[in-house]
Amino acid sequence: MELVLTGCAAVLPALLLLWFFSGRDRFPEPPRVIWTTFGLGVLTIIPAVLLETVLQSWGRGLTGLVGALFGAFFVAALVEEIFKLSVLQVYSFRNRQFNEPMDGVVYGAASGLGFAVLENLLYVMAPGGGLAVGTMRAVLSVPGHALWGAVLGFYAGTGRLCGRPLRGSLKGLAAAVALHGTFDTPVMLISDAGGTMPAGLGILLVIVVLAVSAAGWVWVLRLCRALRRQQAVEASQEPLPCPGPREVAEQPVGAAATIPNSCHHASLVRLAGVLLSAVGALLLAWAALVAASLAFAPGGGSQLVLGGLIVGGIPALAGALILAGGIRKLRQAGRR
């Protein structure tokens, strides 16, 4: 039973997120192209791991913060985001269905999730992995790869559509590497320190990880809303000129707001409800695991309690709110 739950924790979040990002597109992409992008993302982990192994040997003498920064930004983030970008440039952007900035978001997320699903399986099946690792990565790392891929795909895709492919690719790569590296640095510091890190510093680093994850979600969800408003205008009027990132962010909402039910179709509401419910349940599961580990932890003290409140309490509160929101969405869909 635990093996089944571990496998679900490793694979199911990536599939749910792929469904979510595909549903953001008002003009859906062909499933064949999305799944091929996803599959190519899976394959990129092989050359990525080989290259990361070589780069890690170069920085073997680096320790502490310098070693973590080198490993997070140069070894992990830069290498992995370059391979995600290669999938987009070699396959996804060359497909004739790629014709608007939202497509870059969808294909970028698909490439990132393909990479994430195999990486996640390798982590949870490795010695020391298991359900706890799979649940934690389902909440943070897997969505992270989707978000970084979406940002990368938006800038690279917009640059390609507007005749500035190199500029767009560099912008997207810089943004994705910045988010990815900032997320990985505290994780690597905690991992390298083992149990020797002071509790206060560990809590601070966990807060940084959660903050970077939240910032990625805010960035991508706002971007998707702006792109959907633009798609609503294009659906009712003549196509707009090719937008840049700034133009998309500043897109007025008045014209789109006059389209009845443009963003509230029952299927989209149901999709949002399923996703929110799944994310909320995963957060609550993570909080339950933290509570169980604290219950059996030797010793105690204020630092342990404070750490438990942050690492378990915040996800528990967020999970309850998100799950409640998901249930409301599902009820709304049922009334339509």
Residues 92-144: pLDDT tens digits? Answer: 999 988 999 999 999 999 999 999 998 888 888 777 767 777 778 888 899 99
Q: Using an 8 Å Cβ cutoff, are 138 and 281 in contact? A: no
Distance CA 77, CA 112 (A): 12
Q: What's the residue count for the chain?
A: 336
* Most confident residue range from 89-98, 128-137, 237-246, 286-295: 89-98
Residue 306: per-residue pLDDT: 47
Task: Report the candidate in 150, 188, 243, 152 with the shortest Cα–Cα distance to residue 74.
Answer: 188
- Provide the token pair at 66: 């310098």
Question: Which structure tokens are listed for 214?
Answer: 């939240």
Residue-wise DSSP of 83-130: HHHHHHHHTGGGSTT--SHHHHHHHHHHHHHHHHHHHHHHHHHSTT-S
pLDDT of 180 > 90? The answer is yes
* The pLDDT of residue 288: 60
**Ranges of each domain in the chain:** 2-261, 264-336
In degrees and rounded to multiples of 5, residue 36 shows phi and psi of: -65, -40
| Cβ atoms of residues 263 and 332 within 8 Å | no
Q: 263 pLDDT band (50/70/90 cuts)?
A: very low
Angle between helices 2-24 and 266-295 (to 10 degrees): 150
- pLDDT of 198 reads 78
- pLDDT score, position 197: 73
pLDDT at 240 over 60: no
What pTM was computed for the model?
0.70
Task: Report the pLDDT averaged over residues 287-293.
Answer: 58
Which residue's entry shows tokens 């049922």?
Answer: 334
Mean pLDDT of 53-67: 84
Per-residue pLDDT, averaged over 9-32, amounts to 89
Distance (Å, rounded) from C-alpha 10 to C-alpha 122?
Answer: 9
Give the pLDDT band (50/70/90) at residue 256: very low
- DSSP annotation string for 118-183: HHHHHHHHSTT-SHHHHHHHHHTHHHHHHHHHHHHHHHHHHHHHTT-HHHHHHHHHHHHHHHHHHH
